[in-house]
Structures are given as structure tokens and as C-alpha cells.
Amino acid sequence: MRSVFRAILPVGVTLALAVGLALSTVAPVLAQNAPPRIVIGSGVIEPMPIAIAGFIDEGGAGDYAREISRVVQSDLEGTGLFRAIPEDAHISRVTSFDSTVAYEDWKAINAQVLVTGAVSVSGDRITVKFRAHDVFNGTTLEGAALQFAGTTQGWRRMAHKVADVVYSKITGEGGYFDSRVVFVSESGPKNERLKRLAVMDYDGANVQYLTDSASIVLAPRFSPTGDRILYTSYESGFPRITLMDVGSLDRRSLDEQPGTMTFAPRFSPDGGTVVFSLARGGNTDIYALNLSSGGLSQLTNAPSIETAPSFSPDGSQIVFESDRTGTPQIYVMPASGGEGQRISGGQGRYGTPVWSPRGDLIAFTKQNAGRFHIGVMRTDGSEERLLTASFLDEGPTWAPNGRVLMFTRETSGAGGQASLWSVDITGRNLKQIPTEGPASDPAWSPLLP
């Protein structure tokens, strides 16, 4: 059964990074202020007021200039850390990318940061350049004067890259806007749900379907370079881990041992190994498959359920879920396998642990007193924080910068439906990701190159 879907992912978007555009002359600095800065995780934050001047059309840009400014603003405001001052409140108009910036006009409306930009289009080539300004110091933020060039098809990615640079300069964190999310698109009634794989920009735009809904598909995961996807498929009639090439949509089952079922796959950080659960004869354990040699090794060996493995970013350890004590709890073991050490200690049931790409935290699903939560804890299980609560929240996935989580939220009852939500690691900025229909099992890609 070949998929009828064509590969319509953006292919070969080249983003030339021209660092250090000639800077325009800026007014001499009279008094040195602290540069604009937001520290994530430091208590309640008042969103920083910023101004995004409409990007200038430097030739052939048409709607792209306005749309790119809009996406930059949406990315930054979507973090909950920034508040864009409406354009009709701007005193100054930026009419030329290289003209002197009237910083006093932007100070007057209390913009801490000003983003200026310009777009030009020639044929299917688009060039986007921008500067992020420290308004109160009257300077360009260091390293925030860049140019991106590529095909017009990738225009949203360029807007995301602009926003990623601004976000990074001000928070000191890595960006995450130029990323994709693979997820399960759902339709149909609760007792006969149809599921198909789809991929979208992190903000819900540019949805593409990767499979049809002929078979149940579950829990897709991106490879560390974003070019492959692992998921569980019932296409053979039984649940099996499937590996898909995102560009060609070619796919193959990883394991065909009769009498077993395989699920809950994840890549190792080097992309060469897949860890997953294999169930046989009523017992589920964790295995590792070397993708190049085909070598299979068993990492856990217990009569209980061991599932949901996730590597530490250095590849040395695996966090997983086991019900060996009677309820599901979270354990950490060496990547070579073993019994593991329990790290979850609170009341309730813990599952779907995922190691942060920064290595500092483990996100998880917690079920307690009839509610589900998404939470984070340190890798030794300390400092547990619950970020959400609802009838059913599950399956967190980390943004590439390890500062935001996306997860599935499902409502109760016969009409219950799943949707995608995100929250930052401080528990703020909880919001639904817009999707065409019900959606579940999101998995974030790495930051795109």
C-alpha cells in the first residue's frame, strides 16, 4: 500500500547567513543602560514592550514583507514574554532599512527593543534582512543584524529565524520558532477514531499529511536531524515500529518478529539507535536496535511493564517508566541497560518521561486523584513541578531549547476530543496550538538548520 501523498515538505531551503551587515551609523551612546534582558524562570514576568516596524519592501516583496513582520510578531508575542506595541502607536515610520533610527521616537513609546527589516523577492528567491535594536542604548543588539536568503516557499521559516535571533538575544536561550512538530491528526467517533500522521510548523501552520488514516498510527518521534520519523503503526494488523523518511515518505517496519508487538520508539541523540518497548507473552521490556547493524539488545529484564524510554542528550542514560512497584513510576538506567534507579517519589502514577534537550530536566505525565498533569523534575527526581492539570493531559515533548513543552489534552465523555497545547517550564503561557481538527501525540523537531 503506497501512500498517495507526495513529498511536499520544503526541500532544499538554503538559508544563507550573512553575519555583520554594514551597520548604519548610530547616535553616540550618552548613558549606558543595561541591555534588554528577560530571564526565563525568574518569577512573574511583565511582558517586555517591543516594536516591530513593518518590514520594508526593497523590491518585489509584495505581501511577503507584511506577512513576515506579522509572523515575527506572532512568534515573539506567542512566548508570553513580549508585548508588541501596535503599529498605529508608532511615532516613527522606518522608510529605509539603512537610514538612521530615530531612537527617541521609540523611547517615547517605551519600546525596549525595535525590530526593523526589509524583504526583496526576485523570481522564487527571497531575501530577508533585519536588525534588532536596543532602543534605550541606541545600538543594534550584538549579532542581531542578519540576512537570510532562500526560496519564497520558505518565507515563514525566515520569519521564524528572525524571531529566533531576537528571542535568543534577549533571553539568552536558544530559539525554537524555526521548527516542525509531527503529530497524529484525528477524526471520527471516540470508539473508532481515525488517525493519520501529520507535520506542521511549531505554530500550527503549513500542515502536511504523511499517511492516510487506513491504520492506527501512534506517537511519532523525530530523529535528531529531523529527517526521519519513528512511529507505531497497525498497518500490518499488529502494532509495529515504523521508520519513515520525511523527504520521500518511504517507510519500513523495524521489527517483524511474530508474536511480539513493538511501540514507544525513540532515537538516540546520534540517531543511530532506536530504543523501544517490545511486548511478548504478557511482558513488556525495553530494547535497543542499532539501525546500521540491525543488532538488537535487551536493556531491561523484569516481569513488570517497562516502557516509554528516552535518552539523555549525551546518550549515556535512559529514563523510562516501570510498574515494578505496582504503579507506574520513573526510573533512570545506563544506556547499556540495567535495573535503573527510581527517581519519581510523589503521590500518583508517573509516565512518559522525556529528557530535556538541555539535560537539566525530565518532563512527565502524572496521574493523581483523578486528574492528569504535565510536570517537570530534575534528573534526580527533585524539585517536581506540575505545570498543568486537566481531565487528561499526556505525552509532553520538548521545544528544541528545552524551555517550552507541547502535549496532548483530551476532554472527557462521549464527545471527548484531543488537542495540542503548549506551556513553558514555569507553568506560564498555557495555550492551545491551532490545528484543523482534533490532534494528539505531538513531537517537536530539532531547530531546523
Q: Which residues bind other proteins (CB under 8 A)?
A: 1, 188-194, 196, 212-216, 218-219, 232, 234-239, 259, 261, 263-264, 277, 279, 281-284, 305, 307-308, 321, 323, 327-328, 349, 351-352, 365, 367, 391-392, 394-395, 410, 412-414, 416, 441
Minimum distance, C-beta of residue 373 to other proteins, in the bound complex (Å): 12
Minimum distance, C-beta of residue 308 to other proteins, in the bound complex (Å): 5
- Cβ atoms within 10 A of the Cβ of 73, count? 20
CA distance 130 to 174: 18
Nearer Cβ to other proteins, position 172 or 188?
188
Provide the b/e sequence for 332-359 (b: ≥16 CB within 10 Å): bbebebeebeebbeeebbbbbbbbbbee
Nearer Cβ to other proteins, position 82 or 407?
407
Minimum distance, C-beta of residue 231 to other proteins, in the bound complex (Å): 12
CA distance 90 to 279: 62
Q: How far is CA 384 from CA 35, 350, 423, in A?
A: 33, 12, 16
Nearer Cβ to other proteins, position 20 or 189?
189
Nearer Cβ to other proteins, position 164 or 285?
285
404: three-class secondary structure by DSSP: strand
Minimum distance, C-beta of residue 414 to other proteins, in the bound complex (Å): 4
Nearer Cβ to other proteins, position 28 or 259?
259
Nearer Cβ to other proteins, position 175 or 395?
395
Q: Which three cell numbers stand for residue 289?
A: 536496535
Q: What is the DSSP string of 336-347?
A: T--S-EE---SS
* Cα dihedral 244, 250, 254, 256 sign: positive
Nearer Cβ to other proteins, position 73 or 262?
262
Minimum distance, C-beta of residue 10 to other proteins, in the bound complex (Å): 25
Residue 281 identity (one-letter amino acid):
G
Nearer Cβ to other proteins, position 156 or 251?
251
The answer to whether the beta carbons of residues 439 and 420 sit under 8 Å apart is yes
Nearer Cβ to other proteins, position 222 or 263?
263
Minimum distance, C-beta of residue 347 to other proteins, in the bound complex (Å): 16
Nearer Cβ to other proteins, position 93 or 280?
280
Minimum distance, C-beta of residue 34 to other proteins, in the bound complex (Å): 45
CA distance 413 to 153: 41
Nearer Cβ to other proteins, position 21 or 214?
214
Minimum distance, C-beta of residue 81 to other proteins, in the bound complex (Å): 30
* Cα dihedral 15, 18, 24, 28 sign: positive
> Where does 155-204 show beta strands of DSSP type E?
180-187, 194-201
Minimum distance, C-beta of residue 32 to other proteins, in the bound complex (Å): 52
The answer to whether the beta carbons of residues 335 and 325 sit under 8 Å apart is no
Minimum distance, C-beta of residue 57 to other proteins, in the bound complex (Å): 43
> Measured between alpha carbons, how far apart are the two ends of the chain, in Å?
33
Q: What is the DSSP string of 6-62?
A: ---S-----------PPPPP-PPPSS-PPPP---TTSS--PPEEEEEPPPEE-SS-T
Minimum distance, C-beta of residue 326 to other proteins, in the bound complex (Å): 8
Q: Point out which residues pair with 194 in neighbouring strands.
A: 187
Nearer Cβ to other proteins, position 95 or 325?
325
Q: Which three cell numbers stand for residue 107?
A: 523611547
CA distance 24 to 113: 17
With CA atoms as reference, report the closest residue to 339 among 284, 302, 378, 304.
302
CA distance 428 to 423: 6
Minimum distance, C-beta of residue 411 to other proteins, in the bound complex (Å): 9
